[in-house]
Amino acid sequence: MQVDTLINARWIIPVEPHKVILEHHALVIHEGNILDILPQQQAQEKYQALQTETLDTHALIPGFINAHTHVAMSLFRGIADDFPLIDWLEKHIWPLEKKWANAEFVRDGTDLAIAEMLRGGTTCFNDMYFFPEVTAHQAIQHGIRANIGLIMIDFPTAWADGPEQYIEKGLALHDKLRHEPLIRTPFAPHAPYTVADEPLRQISTLAAELNLPIHMHVHETLHEVSQGQRPLKRLHDLGIINPAFIAVHMTQLSTGEINKFAQSGAHIVHCPESNLKLASGFCPVQKCLDAGINVALGTDGAASNNDLDMLGEMRTAALLAKGVAQDASAVNAATALRMATLNGAKALGIDDVTGSLTIGKAADICAIDLSDIETQPLYNATTQIVYSASRNQVSDVWVAGKRCLKNRQLTTLNLAGLKSKIAEWQQKLSAPLE
């Protein structure tokens, strides 16, 4: 049988089934999907490929799913470091956004982020930011899978002047993008403290009608949960929390809140490095997993991380969970990898499409070269990826069977031109605010 691509790899870590590592296997891609995974000798006998890749020192894993981003904010990387969240937002980020956040800013910031993410093995991101139509356009142009949040916030911005217009523009964008194979459009109300009850009720109704997830910052800081009614209680009362709800951060949780959230079937996106940098607190990840909650991983924006490195995020998540739980077996390597891939797909409602190297799913693949001295000797490929490998070892990336990174070179982005644009933005953003 003739197929598009056959990749021979030293290891294939499908994530599904859990903890499985296949050695000397081949992955077969045809028409953008995974057609087969089988021993290399059998693959050679069964298939004739238009293109064959031999990656003798590599592990193939599902492409990472960065389940919470603000990709355009990559242009703010390093501009307001070492401030607590409220100061960071109110005194630095929001004033800069008021002056500079326009369609051009979002276009160039998105390109910067997509370049970084693809080079780090990320094949899908879940975004929340202004001018989502621009982010979607760039994602489509560069061939990366994306959930583009339909942003909602109470106050006017350059994109919309109030809740009614946010919803109107969001619905129009959803309708425009509904047939794009790589794009989904969840609702993205910013946070309980920035969105009033009535817009949340409207979003809840629309999300149910359109079968769309809701993606929201929740319980990010102690300050947030200390202002009267607990935000989770309010969201439960509003009927927002259900199996299509994605709560980001969740650093301030009681045992009762964990149990009630687990019963709802909703999802958590853990952003450990951003939470550490902003001193926001610690999500009790192992307790949440033990309660049956699906916990995914996100980097947050590069303005508060300061990178979009899912390999680094995965390692931090595993190590931090052990410290918080005071248990060295908490969030083991296989679980951390699952959080960065399949759990993200489940949270976004796309686990039937991506998140694991499974026959029938999209060929969203990351190849990691484990031959470097930093990952030698090698006894277990999964633990080596989680605890030792760096994103510089990501050599190749496919999204829906299309190669977006080849031997560390991007195939859909011009880095020289991008760097020139970023230098112009650095000059603009460095100027004093009037």
Gap between the Cα atoms of 252 and 279, Å rounded: 12
Domain contains 427: no
Tell whether 51 and 131 lie within a shared domain: no
Asked whether the predicted pLDDT for residue 5 surpasses 90, the reply is yes
Vertex 159 angle, CA 194 and 428, to 5°: 100
Both tokens of 148, joined, read 């583009």
Render pLDDT for 131-184 as a digit per residue (tens, 0 to 9).
999 999 999 999 999 999 999 999 999 999 999 999 999 999 999 999 999 999
Domain contains 299: yes
Tell whether 130 and 267 lie within a shared domain: yes
Tell whether 297 and 259 lie within a shared domain: yes
Tell whether 186 and 224 lie within a shared domain: yes
Mean pLDDT, residues 334-356: 98
**Contact at 8 Å (CB) between 316 and 272?**
yes
Gap between the Cα atoms of 349 and 405, Å rounded: 26
Task: Note the pTM of the prediction, 2 decimals.
Answer: 0.97
Tell whether 249 and 396 lie within a shared domain: no
**Contact at 8 Å (CB) between 187 and 213?**
yes
Tell whether 82 and 28 lie within a shared domain: no
Residue 221: give its domain's CATH number. Answer: 3.20.20.140
Tell whether 16 and 99 lie within a shared domain: no
Asked whether the predicted pLDDT for residue 434 surpasses 80, the reply is no
Q: Which residue has the tokens 């030792």?
A: 388
Render pLDDT for 316-333 as a digit per residue (tens, 0 to 9).
999 999 999 999 999 999
Domain contains 411: no
Tell whether 293 and 373 lie within a shared domain: no
Residue 433 banded pLDDT, cuts 50, 70, 90: confident
**Contact at 8 Å (CB) between 119 and 410?**
yes
**Smallest Cα–Cα separation from 302: which of 114, 155, 141?**
114
At 195, phi and psi to the nearest 5? -135, 125
Domain contains 116: yes
Grouping H, G, I as helix, E, B as strand and the rest as coil, residue 176 is: helix
Mean pLDDT, residues 199-216: 97
At 379, phi and psi to the nearest 5? -110, -30
pLDDT score of 432: 86
Q: What percent of the chain has pLDDT over 90?
A: 96
How far is CA 158 from each of CA 68, 105, 124, 129, 169, rounded to the nearest angstrom? 22, 11, 26, 11, 13
Please list the alpha-helical segments (H only) found in 21-69: 40-46
Residues spanned by the domain of 219: 64-348
Residue 188 banded pLDDT, cuts 50, 70, 90: very high
Render pLDDT for 278-331 as a digit per residue (tens, 0 to 9).
999 999 999 999 999 999 999 999 999 999 999 999 999 999 999 999 999 999
Tell whether 56 and 92 lie within a shared domain: no
pLDDT score of 16: 98
Mean pLDDT, residues 86-110: 93
Domain contains 414: no
pLDDT score of 202: 97
Residue 270 neighbours by CB distance under 10 Å: 29
| 22-30 vs 2-12, strand pairing mode | antiparallel
How far is CA 332 from each of CA 39, 287, 322, 367, rounded to the nearest angstrom? 27, 14, 9, 21
Task: Quote the number of domains for the chain.
Answer: 2
Grouping H, G, I as helix, E, B as strand and the rest as coil, residue 343 is: helix
Residue 39: give its domain's CATH number. Answer: 2.30.40.10
**Contact at 8 Å (CB) between 348 and 124?**
yes
Domain contains 25: yes
DSSP string, 205-226: HHHHHHT--EEEEES-SHHHHT
pLDDT score of 227: 87
CA atoms within 13 A on the CB side of 285: 31
pLDDT score of 85: 81
Q: What is the DSSP letter of 375?
A: G
Domain contains 271: yes
Domain contains 424: no
Tell whether 58 and 85 lie within a shared domain: no
Average pLDDT, the chain: 97
Tell whether 55 and 143 lie within a shared domain: no
Handedness of CA 252, 255, 258, 261 (dihedral sign): negative
Grouping H, G, I as helix, E, B as strand and the rest as coil, residue 3 is: strand
Tell whether 134 and 214 lie within a shared domain: yes
